A and B are shown apart, each in its own frame.
Chain A
């Protein structure tokens, strides 16, 4: 592989001309299909591998959610086509209650881990870290490729679990034992759960391989002049995210391993005093609460592993499209560091009503609500960045602004859930579902869309269609608020989450109409994603050819030629002279000054501050 890389470099120095044509004809450069698409160690190819896999998984998980939304809106109606899609799980057009839980579980697992962790970090850390810090590739291209293939195998195993006889894991994405440990308790805790655990173990390996690579690359491979305080906020976000992942994912692996031991080797880490299926079990002395502590020790940082990259992408996109420097660059970095630190000491807010010591609960209330401070700083900084900007409404800008909107909406309800007193009555209700889908799910996916629209030309050398992008955005934000805003009322009405049907309760009968509205909005949102998928794949082949710097952006990735080459820059790696946010600088000839332009060339716009550098 190394040989391959060198030969590519050589080709470039010899002959620039042959990069002028479509990258699909670059066979001479990549030897063959396998070397180019399968065993590639080029970070750009690996990022595309992550992205396409994540898009596939996202559609799978979205389809699952639409199926269970049908059930929730019309619990008494038969949908004969269900039997065509999911076979015996939808016998006679009725969704099986066990499979409903399996769908809920897989929807959560896939979205949180495979789309918003693997997909988001995998795609954009891989694409942007080397390109924006000015490196030829990741510190280890081989580990990077390995990271993708672990990820790929883990997605395959997760998907395979759908097709086994006892059904996939169905104890919820948090897989709390004893439910997840005992096949007697739910069919999904048989082979389905075993596959879930294997898949997650591989996923964690992938995530760690990626994470150490990202950290090393950011620390060691920055180009000349690229000090840490000249890094774009995207890189800071990916860097902090990778540290969070490296510190917290091993704990999830430990939790999963102990669960594997309990399930398969008769240990009692999480199990004690259980009588099920007409017989007492011999487990003794374990605590189910231990699992929750371990799980959420990852689980809460995981929220920020999902969210921080999205915030980083949004920071960059907002600054570029507002043609204005990001406000409070250092405060943005500081708030991300504070959020990251706090994320390790707030996990107990998922456990206020588990019987955990109430004093411990008080401590977690305190640390949890502190998170609101750096989050507020970020929001106000975004708003100030927009203030007196010159805003270009590209689809990526609209999604980035959508992110700010959902980050506010969902963040605010988090203050209620983080308050143990108020959590008592909304814990595990639809209020929680509404909260985290808005603040984490929607914000992160909005950030991901912003990233895809913005860096699509960098990935594929073509532009996505803007008109379809606008339609996609408006339908999506309508769908997001249409689905999740009404859910708050279900939660305040005391409707528990993960219920197959609410018709069993007289009290919840009045919520049927709201459920229909939610499902209708979900289908509109789903339709919008089809438009995106079409736009994405159509533009890969038929999109308008991209110019080198289509968004008039300052960062280094736009100084590399449109055509991909392993090594990113044909000649020497560019040197960096200034921070990445010189947009709209007074006196400058254009409204942007790339990082590669030395201050010596811009006497007309230099400020006294600049001369200190």
Chain B
């Protein structure tokens, strides 16, 4: 095997030496001057650029048609629909610019290939042209910036509001846990020094808000309700990525990050839309977090509101039994302040 490999490499090098030599010799023997040789190269490479453009663009269009169905289905959240619209507008602008500029580049390559009887056009400055291609992109970009920022403000303003069902996503190497605020819509405080095997999220037992908190290894969401994800990590940076909802926010140790969104399509409905009976939403870790990064995920389901309530009732509480003895106070050092996951 190794011997064959070495043989192949040696053989490859010999072939290249031959090509290099033969090309040089052929040029000398054919009696063609170097200029003739260069003319031929210019002709063939000019045609090559034209062919590359035509075939390349055709192939791009073909692949796009083939592969678009593989990209994400319709957005399953309120803001996601707007994000997708914005994306479509951007694509339209970009594709037009892409085709025009690439066409000009390759067409000029072909059209203005070397001709020894011709001189190039001595043209090196034109303020009007420069102004045009400074101002036109500026206007187009201004449009894209404004539409983008309007949408960005809408998405992030939701986070400023205090509405929504509070759900904590707690990340660690290499899984996610969801904690549901349940009926009081308040999440009990959590602190990393409280973490034990029984209390993997380090929830504060003495916080009354934590009494009804429920915990699950899947993220279940009621359709049509505003959700406030409160995201924490206990070890390294992770990222909560819900591609079908156009939601992503990093989980950073030492701070709470948030994302507000409203799911609009139940899992059952999405199965119909995609025509895939096995369709499931998913939450992925999207920030390199260790060796098993690629296996860090959590199933996501979107249910009707009553289904959601029925499901939540059956889930287990963070502290199933009332604690027999008051928990030992956390050995927090005075310099670190607990990070409250609840407001």
Flag if A421 contacts B86 (CB, 8 Å). Answer: yes
Flag if B249 contacts A353 (CB, 8 Å). Answer: yes
Flag if B38 contacts A489 (CB, 8 Å). Answer: no
As a 0/1 sequence over residues 361 to 392 of chain A, the CB contacts with chain B under 8 angstroms (1 = contact) are 11001100110110011011111101111111
Flag if B102 contacts A422 (CB, 8 Å). Answer: no
Q: Given A419-B90, A498-B288, A398–B253 Cβ distance below 8 Å?
A: no
Flag if B286 contacts A427 (CB, 8 Å). Answer: yes
Taking CB atoms, residues of chain B closer than 8 Å to A390 are: 112, 114-115, 118-120
Closest chain A CB from B84 CB (angstroms)? 9
Q: Looking across the interface, which residue of chain A has its beta carbon closest to that of B145?
A: A369
A208-216, A243-251, A308-316, A465-473 - the one binding chain B: A465-473
Q: Looking across the interface, which residue of chain B has its beta carbon closest to that of A370?
A: B141
Taking CB atoms, residues of chain B closer than 8 Å to A187 are: 291
Taking CB atoms, residues of chain A closer than 8 Å to B137 are: 372-373, 376-377
B208-216, B239-247, B320-328 - the one binding chain A: B239-247
Check if B342 is an interface residue, CB within 8 A of chain A: no
State A286–B297 Cα separation when bound (angstroms).
27
Q: Given A386-B112, A416-B90, A286–B122 Cβ distance below 8 Å?
A: no
Check if A408 is an interface residue, CB within 8 A of chain B: yes
Taking CB atoms, residues of chain A closer than 8 Å to B41 are: 393, 466, 470
Tell me which of B13, B64, B124 contacts A326 (CB under 8 A). B124
Check if B130 is an interface residue, CB within 8 A of chain A: yes
Flag if B87 contacts A358 (CB, 8 Å). Answer: no
Q: Looking across the interface, which residue of chain A has its beta carbon closest to that of B202?
A: A275
Flag if B237 contacts A500 (CB, 8 Å). Answer: no
Flag if A365 contacts B71 (CB, 8 Å). Answer: no
Q: Given A171-B288, A276-B235, A362-B153, A288–B94 Cβ distance below 8 Å?
A: no
Check if A555 is an interface residue, CB within 8 A of chain B: no
Q: Given A273-B254, A420-B152, A172–B280 Cβ distance below 8 Å?
A: no
Taking CB atoms, residues of chain A closer than 8 Å to B297 are: 504-505
Flag if A409 contacts B108 (CB, 8 Å). Answer: no
Flag if B145 contacts A379 (CB, 8 Å). Answer: no
Q: Given A178-B237, A366-B145, A97–B253 Cβ distance below 8 Å?
A: no
Check if A324 is an interface residue, CB within 8 A of chain B: yes
Flag if A288 contacts B253 (CB, 8 Å). Answer: yes
Check if A584 is an interface residue, CB within 8 A of chain B: yes
Q: Which of A273-299 contact B (CB under 8 A)?
A: 273-276, 280, 282, 284-289
Tell me which of A381, A420, A506, A591 contacts B148 (CB under 8 A). A420
Q: Looking across the interface, which residue of chain A has its beta carbon closest to that of B116?
A: A390
Flag if A485 contacts B60 (CB, 8 Å). Answer: yes
Taking CB atoms, residues of chain A closer than 8 Å to B254 are: 271-274, 286-288
Flag if B145 contacts A323 (CB, 8 Å). Answer: no
State A576–B49 Cα separation when bound (angstroms).
37
Flag if B252 contacts A355 (CB, 8 Å). Answer: yes
Taking CB atoms, residues of chain A closer than 8 Å to B102 are: 405, 408-409
Closest chain B CB from A158 CB (angstroms)? 19
Flag if B141 contacts A372 (CB, 8 Å). Answer: yes
Q: Given A401-B49, A427-B286, A428-B239, A274–B192 Cβ distance below 8 Å?
A: yes
Flag if A422 contacts B148 (CB, 8 Å). Answer: yes
Closest chain A CB from B225 CB (angstroms)? 20
Flag if B192 contacts A178 (CB, 8 Å). Answer: no
Tell me which of B159, B195, B252 contacts A358 (CB under 8 A). B159
Closest chain A CB from B87 CB (angstroms)? 6
State A466–B20 Cα separation when bound (angstroms).
9
Check if B125 is an interface residue, CB within 8 A of chain A: yes
Flag if A585 contacts B105 (CB, 8 Å). Answer: no
Flag if A405 contacts B123 (CB, 8 Å). Answer: no
Taking CB atoms, residues of chain B closer than 8 Å to A591 are: 119-120
As a 0/1 sequence over residues 512 to 531 of chain A, the CB contacts with chain B under 8 angstroms (1 = contact) are 00100000000000000011
Taking CB atoms, residues of chain B closer than 8 Å to A599 are: none
Flag if B235 contacts A380 (CB, 8 Å). Answer: no
Q: How many A-B residue pairs have CB under 8 A?
A: 362
Check if A144 is an interface residue, CB within 8 A of chain B: no
Tell me which of A179, A327, A425, A500 contacts B124 (CB under 8 A). A327
Check if B236 is an interface residue, CB within 8 A of chain A: yes
State A399–B334 Cα separation when bound (angstroms).
61
Closest chain B CB from A419 CB (angstroms)? 4
Flag if B134 contacts A489 (CB, 8 Å). Answer: no
Q: Given A389-B108, A422-B90, A506-B278, A474–B48 Cβ distance below 8 Å?
A: yes
State A98–B173 Cα separation when bound (angstroms).
14
Closest chain A CB from B62 CB (angstroms)? 12
Q: Which of B1-19 contact A (CB under 8 A)?
A: 1-2, 5, 12-13, 16-17, 19
Flag if B236 contacts A182 (CB, 8 Å). Answer: yes
Check if A456 is an interface residue, CB within 8 A of chain B: no
Q: Which of B236-277 contact A (CB under 8 A)?
A: 236-237, 239, 241, 243-244, 246-250, 252-255, 257-258
State A485–B62 Cα separation when bound (angstroms).
12
State A391–B129 Cα separation when bound (angstroms).
22
Taking CB atoms, residues of chain A closer than 8 Å to B145 are: 365-366, 369, 419
Flag if B151 contacts A388 (CB, 8 Å). Answer: no
Q: Looking across the interface, which residue of chain B has its beta carbon closest to that of A325?
A: B124
Flag if B293 contacts A380 (CB, 8 Å). Answer: no
State A405–B90 Cα separation when bound (angstroms).
20
As a 0/1 sequence over residues 217 to 244 of chain B, the CB contacts with chain A under 8 angstroms (1 = contact) are 0000000000000010011110101011
Closest chain A CB from B302 CB (angstroms)? 15
| A182, A187, A369 pick with most chain B CB within 10 angstroms | A369
Q: Looking across the interface, which residue of chain B has its beta carbon closest to that of A321?
A: B114
Check if B104 is an interface residue, CB within 8 A of chain A: yes
Flag if B335 contacts A327 (CB, 8 Å). Answer: no
Check if A163 is an interface residue, CB within 8 A of chain B: no
Tell me which of A331, A415, A492 contacts B94 (CB under 8 A). A415
Q: Looking across the interface, which residue of chain A has its beta carbon closest to that of B124?
A: A325
Tell me which of A419, A425, A468, A542 contacts B19 (CB under 8 A). A468
Q: Given A171-B288, A419-B148, A383–B249 Cβ distance below 8 Å?
A: no
Flag if B109 contacts A386 (CB, 8 Å). Answer: yes
Flag if B280 contacts A506 (CB, 8 Å). Answer: yes
Taking CB atoms, residues of chain A closer than 8 Å to B64 are: 489
As a 0/1 sequence over residues 66 to 80 of chain A, the CB contacts with chain B under 8 angstroms (1 = contact) are 000000000000001
Flag if B72 contacts A494 (CB, 8 Å). Answer: yes
Taking CB atoms, residues of chain A closer than 8 Å to B104 are: 383, 387
Check if B183 is an interface residue, CB within 8 A of chain A: no
Closest chain A CB from B318 CB (angstroms)? 16
Closest chain A CB from B6 CB (angstroms)? 12
Check if A574 is an interface residue, CB within 8 A of chain B: no
Q: Given A408-B102, A419-B144, A492-B71, A274–B123 Cβ distance below 8 Å?
A: no
Flag if B255 contacts A584 (CB, 8 Å). Answer: no
Check if B83 is an interface residue, CB within 8 A of chain A: yes
Flag if A465 contacts B253 (CB, 8 Å). Answer: no
Flag if B289 contacts A179 (CB, 8 Å). Answer: yes
State A84–B237 Cα separation when bound (angstroms).
35
Tell me which of A97, A404, A544 contacts B24 (CB under 8 A). A544
Taking CB atoms, residues of chain A closer than 8 Å to B301 are: none
- B residues adjacent to A (C-beta < 8 A): 1-2, 5, 12-13, 16-17, 19-20, 23-24, 38, 41-42, 45-46, 48-49, 52, 56, 60, 63-64, 67-68, 70-72, 80, 83, 86-87, 90, 94, 97-98, 101-102, 104-106, 108-109, 112-115, 118-126, 129-130, 133-134, 137-138, 141, 144-145, 148-149, 151-153, 155-156, 159, 172-173, 191-193, 195, 202, 231, 234-237, 239, 241, 243-244, 246-250, 252-255, 257-258, 278, 280, 282, 284-295, 297, 333, 335-336, 339
For the complex with contacts A179-B290, A425-B80, A489-B63, 10 further pairs of A-B residues with Cβ separation under 8 Å are: A81-B5, A274-B235, A393-B42, A401-B109, A419-B90, A419-B145, A421-B152, A421-B155, A498-B288, A504-B295
Listed from nearest, the 8 A-B pairs whose CB atoms lie closest are: A494-B243, A272-B254, A355-B257, A358-B156, A584-B120, A388-B121, A393-B45, A324-B120
A-B contact pairs, 15 of them (CB 8 A): A101-B291, A176-B288, A179-B237, A273-B234, A287-B254, A322-B120, A366-B149, A377-B133, A379-B101, A389-B120, A391-B112, A419-B86, A424-B248, A468-B23, A531-B16
